[in-house]
Amino acid sequence: MRRLAAGVALGAALAGAAACRDSSVSSCFEPNASAYFFNPPGDTNGVFRWPATYIPVRVYAEPAGELQRNVDSAMFLWVGAFRCGELSMTRITDSSLADIVVRNPAVLPAPRAALHFAADSVGMCTGRTDVALDGANRLERPIRSYVARVGIDSAATAACYHFVVAHELGHALGLFQHSGDVADLMYPVPRRRALSDADRYTIQLLYHTPPSIPPTPR
């Protein structure tokens, strides 16, 4: 059974969704779908999404192997989830200007933040996204995502990178929990090449929910 975002955020999300369904933007939501949690674990009041003033979200992808191609594919996937143009993203070449940095280390580094999300797929690669908040409860830019090779099978590793890069980018867009449904890309062991109805509805709902966590200034 699926769940909507909990606590205060649940009320805000439901109110926002109801308002949207009663207005001209009802078509912004995936029909007949349900959502999973997107609040930070243990923080039912916490909601982060990139605000309109940060659109397009700037993404830096390390020029390593097929990482940039997979990041481009993942960006296209998530932007395509929106029906009303709520999100756009652009890949940039200067990491110092990025909102999200994606790297391809030989092994995952030690987590740099208390809030981090790990995933792997088919045992061939592993990924993690680190999210840090400053003393003013602002999200520190950039969010950092990593994807590292584990297995030796080239074809399986290529498939794993496709799944895991897209999964980690979902975290970097504000989906701060995992889905409990294996059918979703945001399941902790992602095995999908596309977003499920629940993935689309959850990110749509998030970007129609008032945020409580702002990013640090650009």
- At residue 121 the predicted structure's pLDDT band, cuts being 50, 70 and 90, is confident
Q: Closest by alpha carbon to 8, among 41, 44, 48?
A: 44
Sorting pLDDT into bands at 50, 70 and 90, what band is 25? low
- Domains of the chain, with CATH numbers? 7-206 (3.40.390.10)
- Evaluate if residue 17 carries a pLDDT over 60: no
pTM of the model: 0.89
Chain position carrying tokens 């498939």: 159
For 35-93, the pLDDT digits (tens) are 999 999 999 999 999 999 999 999 999 999 899 999 999 999 999 999 999 999 999 99
Q: DSSP strand E in 27-93: where?
A: 57-61, 89-92
The pLDDT of residue 136: 95
| pLDDT bucket at 18, cuts 50 / 70 / 90 | very low
pLDDT, tens digit, 9 for 90 and up, residues 128-185: 999 999 999 999 999 999 999 998 888 888 989 999 999 999 999 999 999 999 999 9
**H helix runs in the chain, sequence order:** 7-21, 67-79, 154-172, 197-206
